[in-house]
Amino acid sequence: MVVGEAKLNFPGPPARPGGAPDFSLIEVPEPGVLPVPPLDIDAEASEPFAKGMIRVLDDAGNAVGPWADGMGSLDPAHCVQGLIDMLRMRIIDQRLLNAQRQGKSSFYLQCTGEEAIGCAFQRQLSPGDMNFPTYRQQSLLIAADYPLAALMGQIYANDCDPTEGRQLPTMHSSRDYGFFSISGNLGTQYVQAVGWAMANALSRNGQIAAGWIGDGATASNDFHSALLTASVYQPPVILNIVNNQWAISTCTAIAAGASRTYAERARGYGVPALRVDGNDYLAVAAVSRWAVERTRSGLGPVAIEWFTYRTAAHSTSDDPNAYRPRDEAAMWPLGDPVERLKAHLIGRGIWSEQQHAQKQAELFDEIVTTQKEVEQHGTFVNPRPFSPAKIFEGVYAHLPDHLRRQRQEMGY
Ligand SMILES: Cc1ncc(C[n+]2csc(CCOP(=O)(O)OP(=O)(O)O)c2C)c(N)n1
Ligand SMILES: [Mg+2]
């Protein structure tokens, strides 16, 4: 028997600024290897899916394996729509980042590199289904065709903002577009999604919920209580884990601990779980369609770990060059979701470099035109603030007397 000394483990990232990016510990399985499991798969049988990784697109842009054609995601119109959704998302993120840098808003937060996840997932949902997103799932709104003026108005907190200046920029809210109000307290989305799904199972209306959480936030208690509750009551909920390798400046090894994957952790609660290449639009679309079908058929919850990389800063309040090598994003072994889908479509002859450039220019014009219109309604540079009386609206159906008096004292 080996006798040692007790010591603590302090996980760190594989490389720090000034060092060479190191992804040698990341296993990238061949695409096309894992089968499409039966919809009623249980947690035990889902082990290879939770430990492995479902991938469709190979390095040359070919779609391979049973997930490629089995779920109908190769339909040309669907693929082109996916590329346009992601391009639109990327341009909007860039424009709103620039606007914050120009002092026109207080805050912004991009999802660059993660566009495939929200865009492909949303296209598989139906009206009435409800996402419980974090601040990095604006791509769900893009693929739900949410009005751009409302999305941008929310960032400027002007009168185009449906949340009327009450929420931090990026914390959108839209019942009609299946996007539950974002809570800044991470992890809460998971318990809310499970609770909403339970209520909907009781009323038998056929709608499903989707909870969203980042890798870092899986360390919160809410992650665990939501999974346990889902495992007990079997409500119609898809529990998404977006593993983008970072939680602000904290590397994913801290939240992962000794677990091999986050999908494995979910499986430990008795919830079937799959892990997917989140930078592969076709894999995301196919697995999302499978999960939606399973959940809507009353087969209980399912967890999905989307494996990706946060290419941009955490937010406009963050500088990743302080804690990771400058060129780490460019070295990410699973590539860029836009480039990979584009290469696939060009390879199939249903897209071209010329069409791509033209579409990008069209989208840019459309987005800039809307942005200019929305900015006329007020930004931090030309503020047109809401009346302070707004704080008394939108919370109570009937304003309590003490608040009515306070409003009167304020002169409204
Ligand atoms: C309960 C709670 N704790 C801490 C924070 C502060 N916080 C905001 S974002 C963030 C990192 C979250 O990382 P991750 O869950 O990986 O999501 P990502 O930003 O990578 O999408 C933290 C710690 C918070 N908002 N809520
Ligand atoms: Mg993260």
Q: Residue 161: how many CB atoms within 10 A of its CB? A: 24
Please report the atom of ligand 1 found closest to the CA of residue 310: 20
Q: Cα dist. 29→58, 230, 244, 255, 362 in Å?
A: 10, 30, 18, 23, 37
Q: How many residues does the chain have?
A: 412
- Pull the structure tokens for residue 188: 């809460």
Residue 65's pLDDT band, with cuts at 50, 70 and 90, is very high
- What pLDDT is stored for residue 161 in this prediction? 97
| Residue nearest atom 13 in ligand 1 by C-alpha distance | 247
Complete domains list, the chain, with CATH:
47-381 (3.40.50.970), 387-412 (no CATH)
- What pLDDT is stored for residue 32 in this prediction? 97
Nearest ligand for residue 318 CA: 1
Instruction: Name residues whose C-beta falls within 8 Å of residue 397's C-beta, 6 or more positions apart in sequence.
Output: none
- Cα 265 to ligand 1 centroid, rounded to whole Å: 19
Ligand 1: residue of 108, 248, 252, 311 to mutate (most ligand atoms within 8 A of CB) is 248
Q: Cα dist. 23→263, 303, 325, 332 in Å?
A: 20, 25, 12, 7
Which residues sit with their C-beta closer than 6 Å to ligand 1? 136, 184-187, 214-217, 220, 242, 244, 246-248, 310, 314
pLDDT at 360 over 90: yes
- Mapping DSSP onto H, E and C, the string for 36-90 reads CCCCCCCCCCCHHHHHCCECCECCCCCECCHHHHHCCCCCHHHHHHHHHHHHHHH
pLDDT at 290 over 90: yes
If you average pLDDT over residues 143-151, what whole number do you get? Answer: 98
Nearest-angstrom CA–CA distance, 37 and 54? 11
Please report the atom of ligand 1 found closest to the CA of residue 214: 15
The pLDDT > 70 percentage for the chain reads 100
- Cα 249 to ligand 2 centroid, rounded to whole Å: 9
- Cα 282 to ligand 2 centroid, rounded to whole Å: 22
- What pLDDT is stored for residue 325 in this prediction? 98
If you average pLDDT over residues 362-384, what whole number do you get? Answer: 97
- Cα 101 to ligand 2 centroid, rounded to whole Å: 23
Instruction: Name residues whose C-beta falls within 8 Å of residue 339's C-beta, 6 or more positions apart in sequence.
Output: none
Please report the atom of ligand 1 found closest to the CA of residue 242: 21
> Quick check: 23 and 332 in contact, CB under 8 A?
yes
If you average pLDDT over residues 64-72, what whole number do you get? Answer: 88
If you average pLDDT over residues 368-382, what whole number do you get? Answer: 98
Q: Residue 9: how many CB atoms within 10 A of its CB? A: 7
Q: Where are the alpha helices (DSSP H) in 102-239?
A: 115-122, 138-143, 148-156, 188-203, 221-233
SS3 234: coil
| Residue nearest atom 8 in ligand 1 by C-alpha distance | 186
If you average pLDDT over residues 201-227, what whole number do you get? Answer: 97
Residue 97's pLDDT band, with cuts at 50, 70 and 90, is very high
Residue 2's pLDDT band, with cuts at 50, 70 and 90, is confident
Please, which residues bridge with residue 303 across strands?
239, 273
Residue 92's pLDDT band, with cuts at 50, 70 and 90, is very high
- Cα 185 to ligand 1 centroid, rounded to whole Å: 8
- What pLDDT is stored for residue 143 in this prediction? 98
> Quick check: 198 and 168 in contact, CB under 8 A?
no
| Residue nearest atom 17 in ligand 1 by C-alpha distance | 214
The count of C-alpha atoms lying within 13 angstroms of the C-alpha of 312, restricted to the half-sphere facing its C-beta, is: 17
Q: Determine the residue type at 178.
A: G
Please report the atom of ligand 1 found closest to the CA of residue 222: 1
SS3 405: helix
pLDDT at 63 over 80: yes
Residue 69's pLDDT band, with cuts at 50, 70 and 90, is confident
pLDDT at 226 over 90: yes
- What pLDDT is stored for residue 296 in this prediction? 97
Instruction: Name residues whose C-beta falls within 8 Å of residue 372's C-beta, 6 or more positions apart in sequence.
Output: none
- For the chain, the average pLDDT equals 96
What is the H or E stretch that residue 247 is in? strand 246-247
Please report the atom of ligand 1 found closest to the CA of residue 109: 19
Nearest-angstrom CA–CA distance, 356 and 342? 8
Lowest-confidence pick of 69-73, 203-207, 273-277, 296-300 = 69-73
Nearest-angstrom CA–CA distance, 20 and 9? 23
Please, which residues bridge with residue 237 across strands?
209
Q: What is the DSSP string of 151-184?
A: HHHHHHTSTT-TTTT-S-TT---BTTTTBPPPPS
Lowest-confidence pick of 24-38, 92-106, 381-395 = 381-395
Ligand 1: residue of 186, 265, 306 to mutate (most ligand atoms within 8 A of CB) is 186
- Cα 253 to ligand 2 centroid, rounded to whole Å: 11
Lowest-confidence pick of 8-12, 177-181, 313-317, 389-393 = 389-393
| Residue nearest atom 19 in ligand 1 by C-alpha distance | 247
pLDDT at 346 over 80: yes
Residue 395's pLDDT band, with cuts at 50, 70 and 90, is confident
pLDDT tens digits, residue range 14-39? 999 999 999 999 999 999 999 999 99
If you average pLDDT over residues 151-165, what whole number do you get? Answer: 96
pLDDT tens digits, residue range 326-337? 999 999 999 999
- Cα 107 to ligand 2 centroid, rounded to whole Å: 18
pTM of the model: 0.97
Please report the atom of ligand 1 found closest to the CA of residue 248: 11
Residue 394's pLDDT band, with cuts at 50, 70 and 90, is confident
If you average pLDDT over residues 345-365, what whole number do you get? Answer: 98
- Cα 270 to ligand 2 centroid, rounded to whole Å: 24
Residue 302's pLDDT band, with cuts at 50, 70 and 90, is very high
Residue 73's pLDDT band, with cuts at 50, 70 and 90, is confident
Q: Calculate the CA 92 to chain-centre distance.
A: 15
Closest by Cα among 317, 311, 361 to 331: 311
Please report the atom of ligand 1 found closest to the CA of residue 135: 21
- Cα 276 to ligand 2 centroid, rounded to whole Å: 15
Helix axes 115-122 and 76-101, enclosed angle (nearest 10): 130
